[in-house]
Amino acid sequence: AQSVTQPDIHITVSEGASLELRCNYSYGATPYLFWYVQSPGQGLQLLLKYFSGDTLVQGIKGFEAEFKRSQSSFNLRKPSVHWSDAAEYFCAVGGGLTGGGNKLTFGTGTQLKVEL
């Protein structure tokens, strides 16, 4: 069964500092990996995704993530955090459903706080 581990429940960084959020996955085949962000009371917004090819993927809002198969990791990074980045971040692994749908299995999330 597929699973995702986000070891950091809370992270606090200063505005302008760099950020790395950790994600480890377990999946039997080539994984489809995603990072979503959720602001309070809101749904999930896709930041970036990895399907295949270049292991460094770029997303929206200046985020990037690197897929490392040997470490089963897909860590999210941003070189300089803005106060508006404060939110909860979810890593997810996707797999095929009957008919080709994409079932996402999410981690428990990392709550990011940004200090001004």
For binding to another protein (CB under 8 A), which residues are involved? Answer: 4, 32, 34, 36, 41-46, 49, 51-52, 90, 92, 94-109
**Helix boundaries (H) for 43-89:** none
Q: Report the relative pairing of strands 64-68 and 73-78 from DSSP bridges.
A: antiparallel
* Nearer to another protein (CB atom), residue 52 or residue 70: 52
Task: State which residue, 99 or 116, has the beta carbon closest to another protein.
Answer: 99
Min dist CB 1 to another protein, Å, is 12
Q: Does residue 34 contact residue 27 with C-beta atoms inside 8 Å?
A: no
CB of 77 to another protein, least distance (A): 20
What does the chain come to in residues? Answer: 116
- Cα angle value 100/104/107 (rounded, 5°): 165
As a whole number of angstroms, the distance between CA 100 and CA 104 comes to: 13
Min CB(49)–another protein separation in Å? 6
Rounded to a whole number of angstroms, the minimum distance from the CB of residue 41 to another protein is 7
| Closer residue to another protein, CB minimum distance, 15 or 88 | 88
